[in-house]
Chains A and B, each alone.
Chain A
């Protein structure tokens, strides 16, 4: 048996959970809603849970969503973690979105597992 002890200090975070088909219009609205929440709860990270969603959009839509985030850049001070379904298609889309978001200066990462997202959002100290 091997054993490790770690202390997790996880920042407060805003979790946005979506279900069903994601379309561009609703995604843009969701970014605005998130910006309002992030602006109000300054210092909080963001967790976007999209595991129960389907995406129709193409790269052009992804660019539009990234551009919408950029218009609210000042509201997002902390990390943004995205949880997506574990499929090659969604990973490819998330990788493109990550590139767009990194180019605009966001701390953005995507994960397939909730646990990995929490690890990324936490300060972890090994004892």
Chain B
């Protein structure tokens, strides 16, 4: 048996979970809600969990969504993680969204695993030399 010991210091995060079909109008509404929550929890990271969704968004709609986030740039001070289904189509769409968001000045990463998203939000300190 091999073991490792690690200290995790996870930061507070706001989690927004969506299920069902994603359409532009509701996505824009979701950005507003998220901005409102982020303005009250300014030190929090953001986790957008869309694993249980279907996306029909076009490239243009994704850019529109990133622009909407951009309007609220002043309230999003921290990392934004997007959790998506592990399909090539969704990964491709999410990567475009990531590039648009980065163009708007956000620090965003795409994940297919909750665990990896939490690691990104955490300070991780190995406690033993074997790690």
Chain A residues with a Cβ under 8 A of chain B: 1-10, 12-23, 26, 30, 33-34, 37, 41, 44, 47, 53, 114-115, 118, 127
Contact = CB atoms under 8 A, between A and B. Distances in A.
Contacts of B8: 12-15, 47
Interface string B87-131: 000000000000000000000000000110010000000010000
Nearest to A113: B114
Contact of B20 (A1, A18, A47): A1
Nearest to A116: B114
A47 B114 CA distance: 15
The SS class assigned to the B binding surface is strand
A53 B1 contact: yes
Which of A4, A5, A12, A26 gathers the greatest number of chain B CB atoms within 10 Å?
A5
A53 B14 CA distance: 33
A19 B19 contact: no
Nearest to A29: B3
B33 A26 contact: no
B6 A19 contact: no
Contact of A1 (B1, B6, B10, B22): B22
A16 B80 CA distance: 27
Interface string B7-43: 1111011111111111100100010011001000100
A37 B53 contact: no
Contacts of B16: 3-5
The 10 A-B pairs with the shortest beta carbon distances in the complex, nearest first, are: A10-B10, A115-B114, A1-B20, A114-B115, A20-B1, A15-B6, A12-B9, A1-B26, A26-B1, A18-B3
B62 interface: no
9 contacts: A1-B18, A1-B20, A7-B12, A7-B37, A12-B7, A18-B2, A19-B1, A37-B5, A114-B114
A16 B20 CA distance: 36
Contacts of A8: 12-15, 47
A37 B128 CA distance: 10
Nearest to B29: A3
